[in-house]
Amino acid sequence: MRKLLLLALIIINFSVLPSFGAENVIIDRITQSEAEELDLTIPEDVPAGFHAIEIEVYDDAGTVSKKEIPFCKNLDGEIHWDNICPDVLEAKKSEALDLIKTPAGLKPYSPLSDPEKTKDLQVAALAALAALGAAKKSDDKKDDESQEEIESVEAGELEILKNEPGWGDLSGTWDNRFTEAVDFAFIRASNWANRFSPLLTRTIQDGNLLRAIIGPWSLTLVPVALGLGLSGVIDVGGHAIPPAWTIVAAIMAIVIFDALAGLLAGTVFFLGALFTGNLMARSSILTVAATIVLLFAPALIGSSFRPLRRLINDRDERWERLTDYALMAVLTYWLVTKIVGGLSGIANLELPITSHAHDLGLLAAILLIVRIALEDAATHLYPVRLEILHVEIKEPSTFQKIISLEFKIFVFIMLARPFVGYNLQLWLGAALFAIPSITALGWDEKLPKKKLILPRGALKIIVLIFVLGLFANFAEGIFENPETFLKWSFVILALPGFALHYLDAITDAPAPRWRESDLGRSIYRVGGVAVFILIVMMVRGVDLAGWLI
């Protein structure tokens, strides 16, 4: 036996493996330990997938025995001699799904048939809404508290932090004969939008970073975005489903640096679906609307968690800026993956793009880090250019707030309906969402104030995820039927956000910042690292609430 094994090893080391591309040819199987005993080594350049290796064994009489041993290499590069690689099968399924460009070729999908995924989406959505929609009371500087909430998309305001000329202001990177005209056009457009839509104003202003650095050359993103929007229409033949994920990724690469270009691409996609007559159903309209949000809002949503711009003067501000990078990247990844993952439920179809949610989330996170780095550079090098282009966003009037609130409630109900159904639970959950938004228009200020310490920022999201997880597990234990559980969990999971809003509303102004002392600073930083680790675990799908059960 030892001679046979030795001979097999020699032959394998000098022979060619001609059947690496073979699919599922099963003659025999070996275990991992047997493969190690035979020293079967697969070259690193073998692609992921299902393959087979052929070995030749000579006995003492010179008779050749051939064995074709199947194996697979998963997407992480691991060899499995049992020929079981679920991720490869999923990737093949995703590739086949990517080729389908019409709703008729896609399988129907009901969120109620996938309770685990739907529960996860409910927890993420309600945690984000509660964290971003709660009253913004902060003891930080203005650039930490200048967040706005308009029409269900959160966006952080862009601050002017420095007005002395920098190297870039004195350079020629932005200076050409069209600069003044382009600056004037965008300032005028921002002032026009400021009369009725703070969100549109913020979207127009989002490209000020590039306009400050390269001037009119930043307009080259517009035709590229329009072309990509048109290619998305062509890709799906005008149907009300998201285009190929690569097209969405290309638009996202623009959108992170200029939300207006993404809005234009989304508008082209909307018009394509409209003019081809594919916006006749509620699910079609919602799917296109959700796709447009995905195409223009990632950077706006990311800036709602932490400021895109921050002037760094001391070590505390350097720590805060490092926190900005880490939290904005991770939380943007989290929200983008959830938005993409929820599209199938909105469309009631098994959409190809949902299998690429992690790819798009990772791309958005990486590009946002680049965006923040450019913001840091521009803050110091182009402060005057940024100030010239900046238009202060006006506080919305009461009428604007009411219209925005009505629209938000309508969108909330329409987006929740595919996941819950049209029933009592939908209206109860909508009421728990709407009532705090209504009272925030003025009644919250009249509530008696108390000295309370509540979680803020990233810690608020972790606490919400943890509490919502406990509530979800509690509801799951009460309702044995998955469909009934999902319906009532929508109501139960809305309760923590409802309570948090009013706890935040009655909280009095905080005491002086405790973290200014050396001990407080150390506790704050150690706690910040711990919170970041918990957020990463949350993003990776770890059930934080499950730790107590």
Q: Which residue has the higher pLDDT, 527 or 8?
A: 527
For 377-393, write each residue's pLDDT tens digit. Answer: 998 899 899 999 998 88
Tokens describing residue 213: 């650095």
pLDDT at 80: 81
DSSP 70-96: EEEE-TTS-EETT---HHHHHHHHHHH
CA distance 35 to 393: 66
Provide the b/e sequence for 81-91 (b: ≥16 CB within 10 Å): beeebeebeeb
Model pTM score:
0.76
| Residue 26's pLDDT band (cuts 50, 70, 90) | very low
Report the pLDDT value the prediction gives residue 242, as an integer from 0 to 100: 92
User: Rounded to whole angstroms, how far apart are CA atoms 345 and 119?
Assistant: 12
Q: What is the mean pLDDT of residues 152-161?
A: 54
Range name among 12-16, 350-354, 515-519 with the lowest pLDDT average: 12-16
Q: Is the pLDDT of residue 21 over 50?
A: no
pLDDT 10s digits, 321-340: 888 888 888 888 888 888 88
Q: Is the pLDDT of residue 196 over 60?
A: yes
For the record, the structure tokens of 155 come out as 């966006």
Top-confidence residue, 253 or 446: 253
Tens-place pLDDT, residues 416-430: 888 887 888 889 988
Based on C-alpha coordinates, what's the Rg of the chain? 28
Tell me which residue has tokens 């938005």: 339
pLDDT of 216-249, one tens digit each?
A: 999 999 999 999 999 999 999 999 999 999 999 9
Question: Would you say residue 363 has pLDDT above 90?
Answer: yes
- How far, in Å, are 304, 356, 365, 429 from residue 247 at the CA level? 26, 12, 17, 35
Collect contacts of 134-141 with beta carbons under 8 A, ≥24 apart.
134/460, 134/497, 134/500, 134/501, 134/504, 135/440, 135/444, 135/501, 135/504, 135/505, 137/504, 137/507, 137/509, 137/510, 138/456, 139/509, 139/510, 139/511, 139/512, 139/513, 140/513
Residues 367-371 have a mean pLDDT of 92
User: Mean pLDDT for the chain?
Assistant: 78
Q: Which of 54-58, 120-124, 479-483 has the lowest mean pLDDT?
A: 54-58
Q: At 67, which helix (H) or strand (E)? A: strand 64-73
Q: Compute the distance between CA of residue 21 and CA of residue 485 in angstroms, rounded to an integer.
A: 46
Percent of the chain with pLDDT over 90: 18
Of 11-25, 127-141, 314-328, 428-442, the least confident = 11-25
Of residues 12 and 159, the one with the higher pLDDT is 159
Confidence at residue 38, expressed as pLDDT on a 0 to 100 scale? 60
Domain borders along the chain are 2-98, 103-548
- pLDDT tens string 251-298: 999 989 999 999 999 999 999 999 998 888 888 888 898 898 888 888
Residue 497: per-residue pLDDT: 83
- Higher confidence at residue 223 or residue 449? 223
CB-CB contact of 342 with 122 (8 Å): no
Phi–psi pair at 70, nearest 5 degrees: -80, 150
Sorting pLDDT into bands at 50, 70 and 90, what band is 7?
A: very low
Classify the phi-psi angles of 291: left when phi > 0, otherwise alpha if psi is within -120 to 50, otherwise beta. Answer: alpha
Question: What's residue 25's pLDDT?
Answer: 38
pLDDT by residue (tens digit) across 32-53?
565 555 666 777 788 888 888 7
Which is more confident, 179 or 141? 179
Closest among 332, 301, 324 to 202, alpha carbons compared? 301
Closest CA to 391 of 191, 155, 149, 148: 191
pLDDT-above-70 percentage for the chain: 81
pLDDT at 523 (0 to 100): 78
pLDDT at 480 over 70: yes
Inter-axis angle of helices 245-255 and 282-296, nearest 10: 50
341 pLDDT higher than 60? yes
User: Which pLDDT belongs to residue 33?
Assistant: 62
Mean pLDDT of 433-437: 87
pLDDT band, very low/low/confident/very high, at 20 (cuts 50, 70, 90): very low
Distance CA 271, CA 48 (A): 40
